[in-house]
A and B are shown apart, each in its own frame.
Chain A
Amino acid sequence: MSGLESYINHTVSIITADGRNFIGTLKGFDQTINIIIDECHERVFSTSSGIEQIVLGLHIIRGDNIAVIGLIDESIDSRLDFANIRGEPLGPVVH
């Protein structure tokens, strides 16, 4: 069984090849790792202000564009104070 099967209907964090970070519920995937993310939002990191969350809704992300899929521990995630987290934004994947 694919490792992703156990992530279905859980909150995941996706890092894409262009360096963006999407958070949402994994609803499905296929053999090329195209994925369905429900209630998707993007977290935008910056060094000058806190993390900005942009609500996006239902997304299909093409597998080509996915670098990392990680399971989010919701109990830890809900305790984060996004307004006070600073971070350098990621760059794109370099081939």
Chain B
Amino acid sequence: MLPLSLLKTAQSHPMLVELKNGETYNGHLVSCDSWMNINLRDVICTSKDGDRFWRMPECYIRGSTIKYLRIPDEVIDMVKEDAQSKSRNRTELNKNRVANSANQRTARSGNRNNFGNRSGQLSGGSGNNALRVGASGQGNRLLAQNNKNRK
């Protein structure tokens, strides 16, 4: 488990942050990024010696100034649930992907047969060309759709 995933899961939870200079910040985590920069709300700042306090509605702390973060115990179990539901979604996505690509393969081969029939029945002629353009346009759309589904 990565420390920054745990931190991300701790969003909206209360926490205590101690800075390298010894000041501590108590507040609710609003957001964090991959540098551990954090955004707290409803903050109480305590001086290094612990005898002065400041209340502030919000604050932003640069990650590199942090010594440690104290997080509610239950958050670590929520990371596991997050990871599990994510991997579950991923396997479902893959299943759908396999199913889709199978459907699309049959659709595409059906089109191919149509092309073959058309070119067999109508040889040359401007009308045939127009048809072909139309049909191939449809094919491209299908391909585009396939690509979209893949993403």
Residues of A at under 8 Å CB distance from B? 16, 18, 27-30, 34-36, 38, 56-62, 64-65
Q: How many residues of B contact A (CB 8 A)?
A: 20
A28 to B3, CA, bound (A): 6
A62 to B66, CA, bound (A): 7
- Nearest chain-A residue to B72 (Cβ)? A58
Residues of B at under 8 Å CB distance from A? 1-4, 6-7, 20, 36, 63-64, 66-73, 75-76
User: Interface of chain A, helix or strand or loop or mixed?
Assistant: strand
A57 to B70, CA, bound (A): 7
A38 to B125, CA, bound (A): 77
Contacts of B69 in A (CB 8 A): 59-60, 62
Contacts of B66 in A (CB 8 A): 62
Contacts of A56 in B (CB 8 A): 70
* Contact present for A35 and B70 (CB under 8 Å): no
A29 to B7, CA, bound (A): 12
Contact of A30 among B4, B71, B75 (CB under 8 A): B4
- Nearest chain-A residue to B63 (Cβ)? A62
A60 to B73, CA, bound (A): 11
* Contact present for A36 and B3 (CB under 8 Å): yes
* Contact present for A18 and B76 (CB under 8 Å): no
* Contact present for A36 and B75 (CB under 8 Å): no
* Contact present for B4 and A16 (CB under 8 Å): no
Decide: A16 near B3, CB < 8 A? Known: A27-B76, A58-B75, A62-B36: no
* Contact present for B1 and A65 (CB under 8 Å): no
Contacts of A29 in B (CB 8 A): 2-3
* Contact present for A62 and B67 (CB under 8 Å): yes
Which 8 A/B pairs are nearest by Cβ-Cβ distance? A28-B1, A34-B3, A61-B68, A60-B69, A65-B67, A60-B3, A58-B71, A58-B73
